A and B are shown apart, each in its own frame.
Chain A
């Protein structure tokens, strides 16, 4: 008998399969929103591991998403025609490989960015990841092989409900599973008090890097799904605004809460649809929303147990 958490995962994957099977009957607009929602759930849940549960502050999630998106898209666009496989084989065979490659590249990028900066205390990570996001954007804008500023076109639309929902389910399972063990409580301990965590024998740097690499991996997966949903990607799609959008989901969901962050990711994605007309004003609205929220509900929208202030003793 499998543990409950794994039964849940299997159930979620089966649901993803079933939903995908009937997706032809879903209104295309609605389907498109649903796919976007699932991708944002992956992004928010994976960032929640870093910013929420482990208490770090990354502002570069969109950068890792870009690494995954471009890696996966380069693989499918170059290989799809050369392999001469039937479309079914490409969607169910090549695509997952491309997604995984995107995730791995993003994880490697995460390691490269995180290993030096996570050793430092305080807000260095925010600055370094912010810089990383910008560097990725500028690099992509200047590399001809990936379409430079005009981006990559003609990416096959392999993304469907099965891949996005499974991706979201696996992300949730991994983040939940990592945290729900004696080992995993270490992430929360690092977030609470690094000095005490070290004194209890926890290699805090290792924990932070683990969280960062796993989080980046899933950002990369989300990037690959996004690329094969839109069919077109450009460097500006993965800019600072996108990172902020994900950060807002995590904060709104109540940093380090499993369900809250998922709900926030769903709500914010759905709410954004009618706001698209506003263009750049959307970001201002976002900023206002964030400020208002910080003032009104610093513990996040969906956490009812108010975090009590620390006692004078601690």
Chain B
């Protein structure tokens, strides 16, 4: 069986800056993989390449054995890749409920015409979606705020809602960009537990970007490490922890300022 996701020597340049340089990596079905690296290493850019926000300058990206580079973001989501954003991008004026509901879009039987004819089938589907939305919200106990506009949620809940919204697209692969950012250590542990729960429940592969090494090491069986757009290591948490290049990269950035700052 081919890997679920396969990056093959993927490169992107922004003018003179090579943000991602010849990165090859794979994610297997159902696997929880970490993607780490210092600030500005290119982690978010890798996500943007996978989801079609950016087009690669060189290299190719395959999902389920099919090339996906050049597809529009919505078409890539249709293939089964969903994501969250490092700088939370909810639909701020929509309610918490509608944020999730709208993400069922790809699986809708009704369309514009049915919204106007409003027959029994339409209402049946809407009732079913309402049920499914509530179920998803329940994972993070967000039903209690379901009628609030998303922008009014506290920061941590906004991150949780973004994960739930991504799940509504029914992905095979979920890309999480620093989902625990801004959370305290206890919240982080709780979130990671839930991420593992979600992964098992929905049979998902997850690619997780997270700065906190301890957190990543705790949940991922395999980790890719980026530095200055290049992949410098890949392996189990133990191997990564012992890898001299990784140690140097992380020690190096503690002293130096990030490249793009």
Residues of A within 8 A of B (CB): 3, 5-6, 173-174, 177-178, 180-186, 188-189, 191-193, 195-204, 210, 307-308, 310-311, 313-314
Contact = CB atoms under 8 A, between A and B. Distances in A.
Interface residues of B, number: 48
Q: Say what secondary structure dominates the interface of chain A.
A: helix
A201 B94 contact: no
A201 B83 CA distance: 11
A197 B93 CA distance: 13
A177 to B, nearest CB: 5
Contacts of A210: 112
B188 interface: no
A308 B151 contact: yes
Given A178-B116, A182-B129, A314 B92 contact: yes
A310 B150 CA distance: 10
Nearest to B80: A201
Given A182-B108, A200-B165, A201-B106, A189 B123 contact: no
Contacts of A307: 93
Please provide the 4 A-B residue pairs with the shortest distance between their CB atoms, ordered closest to farther: A201-B77, A181-B115, A198-B73, A192-B91
A177 B85 CA distance: 31
15 contacts: A182-B125, A183-B105, A183-B110, A183-B111, A184-B112, A185-B94, A186-B102, A193-B89, A199-B82, A200-B77, A200-B102, A202-B105, A308-B151, A310-B151, A314-B87
Contact of B101 (A174, A182, A193, A201): A182
B103 A201 contact: yes
Interface of B: 51, 53, 72-74, 77-78, 82-83, 85, 87-94, 98, 101-106, 108, 110-112, 114-116, 118, 122-123, 125-126, 129, 149, 151-152, 155, 158, 165-166, 168-169, 182
Contact of A308 (B73, B102, B152, B158): B152
B116 A174 contact: yes
A141 B125 CA distance: 51
B110 to A, nearest CB: 6
A310 B87 CA distance: 13
A178 B105 contact: no
Contact of A202 (B101, B102, B116, B149): B102
B88 A313 contact: yes
A63 to B, nearest CB: 24
Contacts of B110: 181-183
A177 B169 contact: no
